[in-house]
Amino acid sequence: MSRDRLLRACLAEIEENLAAFQRTRNAVQFHNDMAETLVASHQAAYREAMGGQALDASDRATLIEVLGNQLDYLEAFTLEIERGTLTDAQIAARARLYAGSLKETWSRAATRGLDLPAHPGVGTQCLVNCGCRWEIDAHPEDGEVYAYWRRGKSDSCDTCRERERMWNPLIIELEVA
């Protein structure tokens, strides 16, 4: 499954979670449903980006790190819902943003083993709306990998335009075994 298909599938599950919340107004159940969606979606994104390969200990640690961050954000979001400080429209808009967090997971899995300074949506002004990606050009005979930050949208934020300028290419030296 492609990254975009996974994003759409995650978004569809989020919409189901939102519909259930609208019926029940149960913030705890919404949190649990969202957490389940995020865990399953990030696991699927990581595996798919790796071409279905089994995850090793390093992969699992990366996945736990990314998921931990998203679940922390979800916890804070749930508290705001419980306090009643958000409108239904704000809840829906914010919940939908979680699908975009799969871009980081996909990128980290697709570029595993490379020491890259950033990933799409991380540390950018556009956050999960980021349309950027890494393009990797490996030259093992030279002991180098050329990594290019590619913008995917014409309306990229300043951070992404700067990354494209700085990392065009970013040269990574491969470790010799």
**Tell me: the pLDDT tens digits for 27-56?**
999 999 999 999 999 999 999 999 999 999
* Same domain, residue pair 21 and 104: yes
* Same domain, residue pair 94 and 135: no
120 in a domain, yes or no?
Answer: no
The pLDDT tens digits of the residues spanning 61-120 come to: 999 999 999 999 999 999 999 999 999 999 999 999 999 999 999 999 999 989 999 999
Count CA within 13 A, CB hemisphere, residue 87: 3
pLDDT at 177: 59
118 in a domain, yes or no?
Answer: no
Contact yes or no for 169/147 (Cβ under 8 A): yes
pLDDT at 152: 87
* Same domain, residue pair 79 and 105: yes
147 in a domain, yes or no?
Answer: yes
The pLDDT tens digits of the residues spanning 151-168 come to: 987 778 999 999 999 999
The pLDDT tens digits of the residues spanning 119-147 come to: 999 999 999 999 999 999 999 888 999 99
pLDDT at 176: 66
Contact yes or no for 154/167 (Cβ under 8 A): no
Residue 33 makes CB contacts below 8 A (sequence gap 6+) with 16, 17, 20, 21
pTM of the model: 0.92
Contact yes or no for 130/120 (Cβ under 8 A): yes
* Same domain, residue pair 23 and 71: yes
* Same domain, residue pair 48 and 133: no
Contact yes or no for 37/12 (Cβ under 8 A): no
121 in a domain, yes or no?
Answer: no
Contact yes or no for 69/82 (Cβ under 8 A): no
What CATH number did the domain enclosing 16 receive? 1.20.120
Contact yes or no for 120/139 (Cβ under 8 A): no
Kindly report the number of other CB atoms within 10 A of residue 10's CB atom. Answer: 23
Mean pLDDT of 6-16: 98
Q: Which of 85, 110, 135 is the last residue of a domain?
A: 110
Which domain does 162 fall in, by range? 127-173
Alpha carbons 78 and 86: distance in angstroms, whole number = 10
115 in a domain, yes or no?
Answer: no
Alpha carbons 154 and 131: distance in angstroms, whole number = 9
Q: In the chain, how many domains are there?
A: 2
119 in a domain, yes or no?
Answer: no
Alpha carbons 163 and 168: distance in angstroms, whole number = 8
